Structure 1
């Protein structure tokens, strides 16, 4: 019997790659030959290429989907058209049973090419409202899965299902001891605060933390995932404060080491914190810098008592400190609420849902 093939796509940020990373081992276990279509220089190429050498990675041209005026808005449609032709050639050569798209601008030419090649496409949406790439992909998709129940009102009932979150098994295998060892903290009896701004970092979160650093280090050891190029070398010798530009395989250990988390409100990350029952202070990307998806994500978590929320516009040295004190004061209430949350799906379960739409 001929081995079945699947193509995965998605990129631009780690959030558009992480679910693909989670399901790849399950796909391989089920006997699938896995290919990945991404951009030439996006974060997806680094994550997939470094972590999964057994997978064939294909680079294509792709335009960026902007909500603001740029001269490139006039040239990028031609890059997308070229990307469609490249993706179509790859699909015809690989002959996948199904294509799974996690979104991001690189996925748009892939799902369009899949329609031309008559290959079923399954799309996944992590946020409360569909992103622009997934909105464009929707007419070409056989089915779309969502994390939030609230997303269903934005989608056709006959081609959408809410699965809830999908959490990779490796996340639960992290070790607090290994995480603390990575940070070389001397006073391991202190509570650990982890601050992260997403795969690209966050200037405003970095600044808010560092403004409060002296005061916070009295009570906390601090793990700071600050983003590439954002390490402050003047602080590297400071005991109790460990900076990382970006982590991959170390993340489960660092999350297990954390007692509290301060973060942006990307869907994949906050559901991982929920699965590990970590009290979280969410500072979502402001509406002026985004389509507002993180604000919706954060407010839904606040409503369910999983998190405390501080709007970026209200972020100051004082408000950051006050919000953190509120988080600590209400940690038991949050942990209790998270204990009652719906169980996340496993990658194995997600693979079954995706592959049911494949051509046999």
Structure 2
């Protein structure tokens, strides 16, 4: 099977694509993959690091208000379609999939106009402009949250889950514990605000780090590279408790997720795919700075089922965070119930599901 994959802009679009590619290569080692992204996007680094054939087009996203830049974007879109068509005439794909981000627009649109079978994969509960536009032209729309189905033509929607969930099926929890020096017989909380960190989560935790030092659980606190030095200075002022482990970034996140008992995090689609796949209880603090407030919608999909505690950023402070952590660990049956509900929402076979969808519609 020859597959063109396109997705870019953020890790939330790129990591599912990479997980899907691994599944395709596992199922069909003889398969051929071409990834089409942008030169300046994060995908340029992440995809080529995996040794996947990679080509670029130049495209920008639409602004949500009237702007001269939108006229330029239309011109770039037309040029991008022409570029993508040339690439596909040479590559001759059996199927094309877009995993989100504006780069998918000209790539998937070009494939649809060439009558190549096409799919878009929507990770969030509220889709972005590109996927809503492309849904008019593709054969199928793969979704991860049932809430997203109302935005797309009913006959095209297929619930597959997020391929990233399949990555955590192969976790090594013991390796995760060893890499951080965690104590075996203590409950562990992982607090993380994304690769660049989240200052409101940092501030909330710093206000209670002294109290956390007296608890019978341990905390792994990932600050983000940008905030690490400033956080360490403040933690040292409070005695640097022995049960608090602070890191700027984790490169082995799947293994660490398997080693902890509770996560405090934003509500990005990739994070939620991972935690539901392994049934990890969560306290979710969605970013209010994302398109269509989709992180809050993502989080509510879990909190409404009892798999997570949802706290809006405006309502979060140190005392609330400490209260929520204590509730999960001390309230009778709370942790067990959250784990059970998270597992029921998880789709660990998601990568296989998307692969099978591509196989079914490929020419």
Q: Same fold (TM over 0.5)?
A: yes
Say which of 129, 139, 151 aligns to 2:126: 129
Partner of 2:273: 271
Give the one of 118, 126, 135 matched to 1:138.
135
Aligned pairs for 1:109-188 (under 5 A) are 109-185=106-182, 187-188=183-184
Is 2:188 the partner of 1:192? yes
Q: Give the Å deviation of 1:340.
A: 4.2
Q: Which residue of 2 aligns with 1:335?
A: 339
Aligned length: 350
With 237-246 and 294-303 compared, the bigger mean Cα shift is at: 237-246
Residue of structure 2 aligned with 1:211, choices 207, 210, 230: 207
1:298 counterpart = 2:294: no
Where do 5+ consecutive residues of structure 1 fail to align? none
Deviation at 1:313, TM superposition (A): 1.6
Q: Taking structure 1 as reference, are residues 289 and 130 closer, same or farther at Cα in structure 2, changes over 3 Å only?
A: closer
Conserved? CA contact 1:88–1:116, under 8 Å: no
Task: Kindly indicate whether the alpha-carbon contact (under 8 Å) linking 1:230 and 1:245 is maintained by their aligned counterparts in 2.
Answer: no
Instruction: Return closer, same or farther for 1:322/1:63 CA change in 2, 3 Å cut-off.
Output: same
Distance 1:259 1:157, change over 3 A: same
Deviation of 1:260 after TM superposition, in Å, equals 0.8
Counterpart in 2 of 1:313? Answer: 314
Q: TM-score, normalised by structure 1?
A: 0.88
Q: Equivalents in 1 of 2:80, 2:195: separation in Å? A: 25
1:348 pairs with 2:352: yes
* TM-score using structure 2 length: 0.87
Q: Relative to structure 1, is the Cα distance of residues 156 and 281 closer, same or farther in structure 2, using a 3 angstrom cutoff?
A: same
User: Are positions 1:232 and 2:234 aligned together?
Assistant: no
Shift of residue 341 of structure 1? Answer: 4.3
Deviates more, 1:101-110 or 1:204-213: 204-213
Shift of 1:246: 5.2
1:107 aligns with 2:107: no
8 Å contact from structure 2 (residues 165, 348) kept in 1: no
What is the CA–CA distance in structure 2 between the aligned matches of 1:152 and 1:275, rounded to whole Å? 21
Q: Which residue of 2 aligns with 1:202?
A: 198
- Relative distance call for 1:314 and 1:192 in structure 2 (3 A) is same
Deviation at 1:110, TM superposition (A): 1.1
In structure 2, distance between residues paired with 1:168 and 1:32: 22
C-alpha displacement at 1:75, in angstroms?
3.5
- Partner Cα distance (2:223, 2:79) in 1: 35
Quote the residue 1:261 is aligned against.
263
Work out the CA distance in 1 between the residues paired with 2:312 and 2:128. 21
User: Which of the numbers 351, 357, 362 marks the counterpart of 1:358?
Assistant: 362
Deviates more, 1:209-218 or 1:350-359: 209-218
